[in-house]
Amino acid sequence: AGNTPQVYPMGDWPAPFGIVWVYDRLSGLMLLLTATLGVVSLTYAIATNEDHNGAHFHALFQAQLFGLNGAFLTGDVFNLFVFFEVLLLASYGLMLHGGGAARSKAGLHYMVINLVGSTLFLFAVGALYGVLGTLNLADLAVRIGLAPTSLYGVIAAASLMLFVVFAIKAAAFPLYLWLPGTYAETSAPVAALFAIMTKVGLYAMLRVHGTLFDTATAPASLVNLIGPWELWLGIMTLIMATLGVLAAMNLRRQVAYLILASVGTLLIALGVNTTESIEAALYYWIHTTLLSAGFFLLADIVRRSRGDDDWRIQPAMPRATLIGGLFFIYAMGMAGLPPLTGFFGKTMILHSVLGSPLMGAIFAVVLTTSVLLVIALARSGSTLFYRVDHQEQQVTAQTVSSFAWLA
């Protein structure tokens, strides 16, 4: 995409009646990430026969991709709701694919919290349409700028409801409790694809609130409505996620909490809401999405090799040097250590908050949590790869190579 967004109105219907697709650099980036994770996850599922553990895996997988791509391309709030429902319905099926009591329990929690989010989404959409008469994002931005002050309260309430919905999708504090169990219990290729699910919520925050409350059109009282919430929830999410990483009892759950830590870091950057912080967030966005997906696949390799991925002494795994090396790379990247991209991403985010009123708090939280992540991952690595006996098991080279390039 060039500097000018490409807009396709379906049926050539104008706003506020028509449905539009909008393709720009941001949506193009998200489409590329989705396609990359889709190819890698599906390849891994086929290589390990995970797609044969239940019915309709490939149909559900394609429906998930359809919902994700639609959410990234739509220029209409109601159709964003529609595509949220499409990807959520597909994710319910993928989450439960293969069955099992633990998976069903985690899936129920996931469905209930997202049904609450969907209900709030409808309320917010109805409120916006009731007072502004449109749901087209660009048209909404114009009408908010022209709206009388008597409507600001309704607009703010609807926008905050949307923020809660997007925070649920992104698993931000305190609405994150559904994610660790869900991601840890589902199959590895599904969890790898789900690495971009939290980014859908963050994308919606950036796209919807960034469009509706643009400084050039929105009234000053609404421009800074969401930013402070993003900043404080980002700080709390990062703190709670780091505690979860320290307390996790197996590698899959630890990786799930690492995704939460990345969500907190990205929310901090979005909350600062400067050009530099958004650029830093997008750089870190790419890094953490790819690395999280690869880490989930690595956790599955470890589980298959050792029999489980708990912090217990187990027989030495075959190809331990290769798998341990990948773990070391992923751990360094997720903790933000040099010379990997995570270090540069966090450095860019910290540089972007210079001059912010909360600069001291942000620096303290980001740096302290990074040190704690190093400690937690070092403990995990030593348990998994060094405190072992010498009984050998098998793991195929194809399984390892299907995701190693994500590092």
Would the CA dihedral through 11, 13, 19, 20 be positive or negative?
positive
Q: For the chain, what are the domain ranges?
A: 1-223, 225-390
Closest among 89, 324, 357 to 235, alpha carbons compared: 357
Place of tokens 């010498």: 390
pLDDT (tens, 9 = 90+) of the chain, 407 residues, equals 567 888 888 888 877 778 899 999 999 999 999 999 999 999 999 999 988 887 889 999 999 999 999 999 999 999 999 999 999 999 999 988 877 788 888 888 888 999 999 999 999 999 999 999 999 998 998 898 888 989 999 999 999 999 999 999 999 999 999 999 899 888 999 999 999 999 999 999 999 988 888 766 778 778 888 888 999 999 999 999 999 999 998 899 999 999 999 999 999 999 998 899 999 999 999 999 999 999 999 999 988 887 776 766 666 666 777 888 899 999 999 999 988 889 999 999 999 999 888 899 999 999 999 999 999 999 988 888 877 565 444 444 455 555 555 55
Q: Sign of dihedral through CA atoms 154, 155, 156, 159?
A: positive
Is the overall model pTM greater than 0.85, yes or no? yes
CA distance 335 to 242: 10
188, 135 contact by CB (below 8 A): no
Alpha-carbon distance of 346 to 341, in angstroms, equals 9
